[in-house]
């Protein structure tokens, strides 16, 4: 393409999916023929994009998890969320080796939960992303699995219960915000009180579910006013902060 007509600041972007060599199709072919953990991970080592979480189980009772994809090793002063000058100070330092990607086989807990939540431990030495999904779904799944069985044995009916669960666990993380809000009109007051009485079950036809989702979305938009990218965790930290000097606290008044 000819960009001779473009004026002003130029921006360079990179996406693994557009790399000239991507054996991800081969990875899927081999994955469908894997008969053990070693063959499973070997196949996924060829899966470059887009990154996905893959779980494993076999007839011997083994369970596992492997994060897939190719991730750049970034310089210490850049996490990839914002544009940076192309002066060489922020150049990539290589690729994270497949064997260094998050994985687990037969965890002590007896089960594996993955719902787009943060997978790597706090001491993980590389940056995968800073935009993990809010962990409400993962927390709910883990809670249900722990309540269903104390010995790590689960039935098909147990799994159906987990899959069909419609409890809005995210509501539990925002309820404290609702309790502190002082509505400015009768309609807002009505819905605040109604949400506080809600059982957080997002059933078909639930008006509370719709109102809650819209409210959370509007809260997240508050973070776009020059303070921080739209982020559920950031909003929670602002509203729950006990330090009035924290960045963004002025938005809550």
Q: What is the pLDDT of residues 52-97, one digit of tens each?
A: 999 999 999 999 999 999 999 998 888 888 888 888 888 889 999 9
CA distances (Å), 51 to each of 54, 93, 137, 181, in order?
Answer: 10, 19, 19, 39
The tokens for 4 are 């001779």
CATH classification code of 16-131: 3.60.20.10
In the chain, which ranges are continuous DSSP H helix?
24-31, 37-44, 136-148, 156-163, 169-180, 186-196, 207-222, 232-239
Domain ranges of the chain: 16-131, 134-165, 169-252
For strands 63-67 and 53-57, give the pairing.
Answer: antiparallel
DSSP E strands in the chain: the ranges are: 53-57, 63-67, 103-105
Q: What is the pLDDT of residues 195-243, one digit of tens each?
A: 999 999 999 999 999 999 999 888 777 666 554 544 556 566 655 554 4
The answer to whether the bond into 50 is cis (omega within 30° of 0) is yes
Burial per residue of 107-139, b for 16 or more beta-carbon CB atoms within 10 angstroms, e otherwise: eeeeebbbeebbbeeeeeeebbeeeeebbbbbb
């Amino acid at each position: 393409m000819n960009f001779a007509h473009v004026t002003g600041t130029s921006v360079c972007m990179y996406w693994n999916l557009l790399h000239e060599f991507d054996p991800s199709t081969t990875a899927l072919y081999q994955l469908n023929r894997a008969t053990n953990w070693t063959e499973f991970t070997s196949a996924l080592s060829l899966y470059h994009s887009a990154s996905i979480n893959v779980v494993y189980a076999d007839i011997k009772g083994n369970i596992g998890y492997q994060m897939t994809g190719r991730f750049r090793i970034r310089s210490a002063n850049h996490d990839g969320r914002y544009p940076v000058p192309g002066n060489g100070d922020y150049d990539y330092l290589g690729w994270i080796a497949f064997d260094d990607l998050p994985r687990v086989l037969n965890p002590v807990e007896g089960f594996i939960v993955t719902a787009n939540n943060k997978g790597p431990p706090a001491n993980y030495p590389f940056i995968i992303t800073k935009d993990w999904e809010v962990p409400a779904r993962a927390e709910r799944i883990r809670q249900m699995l722990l309540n269903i069985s104390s010995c790590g044995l689960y039935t098909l009916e147990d799994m159906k219960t987990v899959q069909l669960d419609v409890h809005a666990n995210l509501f539990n993380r925002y309820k404290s915000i609702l309790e502190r809000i002082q509505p400015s009109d009768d309609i807002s007051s009505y819905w605040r009180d109604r949400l506080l009485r809600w059982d957080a079950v997002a059933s078909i036809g639930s008006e509370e579910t719709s109102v809650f989702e819209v409210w959370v979305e509007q809260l997240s938009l508050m973070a776009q006013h020059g303070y921080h990218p739209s982020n559920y965790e950031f909003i929670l930290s602002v509203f729950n902060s006990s330090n009035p000097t924290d960045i963004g606290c002025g938005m809550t008044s």
